[in-house]
Structure 1
Amino acid sequence: MENFNEKTVTSETLYCGKIIELRVDEVQLPDGKLAKRELVKHPGAVAVIAITDEGKLVLVEQFRKALERTIVEIPAGKIEPNEDPKQTAIRELEEETGYRANEFTYIQSFSTSPGFADEVIHLYLAKSLEKVENPAAGDEDEFINLHECTISEAEEMMNDGRIYDAKTAFAVLYVKQLTIK
């Protein structure tokens, strides 16, 4: 197999915000030529496939500024510095849905947009849910509507565009696969 590695020659941070860092790297290509790479550095995130005892998916609906519209998603959130991804998942599930899970299982991790971003999402399955009497408060700038739906209802939301992001589409297909076996 050929070596396609790109060696970083220079790196310039253009912006460092609360969630992301924007960087331009100059790289040396395998053929020796130089090229620029525009990169988004991200601390990583978690996402939770939460399933009620009735077999319904717990989803959140929120406005996404990057898309300029509301979409329906699985609960998810950014990993805080030095936070274990499983702890992030437990925290985000409670903050966004008001649920705790008695069964928490790691599924897998995946890159969201490897062409320009290093964000990795760690995906968990949460079962044996119970409502928390006084759930932890969510982010003050986050406004969420909670939905519980069947897999067929979630597939319908994928078809009409209410579910529009890859992590949630993956989750719906993952759960559908679990129920087929």
Structure 2
Amino acid sequence: MAPLPAPEPFELLETIEVMQARKIRFERNRIKLPLGVEGTFGLIRHPGASLAVPITDAGRVVLLRQYRFAVQARLLEFPAGTLEDGEDPLESMQRELGEEAGYSAAVWDSLGPMLPCPGYSDEVIHCFLARQLTPLANPPAGDEDEDLEVLEMTPAELDAALASGEEWLDGKSVTAWFRAKQRLGL
């Protein structure tokens, strides 16, 4: 998997406004782009995240149906979570897989990083394939604001749900599923 492209930094001329939220920071900056154009741009600073495509030994895909307040709907997603300060992406995902889906995995393969919204955010999501799953007898508690249901689907059922549009799968999960299918030869 190719690494992210080399940065071409912009020149920060002025920070006009900053708003800190729970996991993100919004900045409105006056900048000079590498091509020389100056302007005011909004930017969401994000600490990064990890995501896993968990596959059971029976070949079923573990997903979450999770409520997302921004779109006021329940979406199909793979387990994922925001990186804690200084946390390794794989360690973060191992923790999140237990908290959100109730599994641990013996085999982890990198599916590479992805940029979910590069037009306005610096977030990088590190994607993994998790295999040889073991259900946890006492899964650790997740975040109190997470409203989710754990589901299992066959790869064909997931593909059919995506193709029909009856289920919404967020962009990070679509990308990770595509990469996982390539890795698994599906």
* TM-score of the superposed pair, with normalisation by structure 2: 0.89
RMSD: 1.7
Aligned residues: 178
Partners of 2:60 and 2:141 in 1: CA distance: 24
Partners of 1:30 and 1:47 in 2: CA distance: 31
> Equivalent residues in 2 for 1:117-128 (5 A)?
117-128=121-132
Unaligned 5+ segments in structure 1 are: none
Are 1:167 and 2:172 counterparts?
yes
Q: Which residue of 2 aligns with 1:142?
A: 146
Q: Which moved more, 1:163-172 or 1:98-107?
A: 163-172
Are 1:129 and 2:133 counterparts?
yes
Partners of 1:41 and 1:109 in 2: CA distance: 17
Q: Which residue of 1 aligns with 2:181?
A: 176
> Equivalent residues in 2 for 1:43-62 (5 A)?
43-62=47-66
- Offset of residue 29 of structure 1: 3.7
Q: Quick one: which of 61, 65, 68 aligns to 1:64? A: 68
Determine helix, strand or coil for the equivalent of 1:77: strand
Determine helix, strand or coil for the equivalent of 1:25: strand
Unaligned 5+ segments in structure 2 are: 1-7
Q: Which residue of 2 aligns with 1:81?
A: 85
Give the 3 Å change call, closer, same or farther, for CA 126–30 of structure 1 in structure 2.
closer
Q: Which residue of 2 aligns with 1:97?
A: 101
**Which ranges of 4 or more aligned residues in structure 1 deviate by more than 3 Å?**
29-33, 178-181
* TM-score of the superposed pair, with normalisation by structure 1: 0.91
CA deviation map 1:42-67 (0-9, x unaligned): 01000001000011110000111111
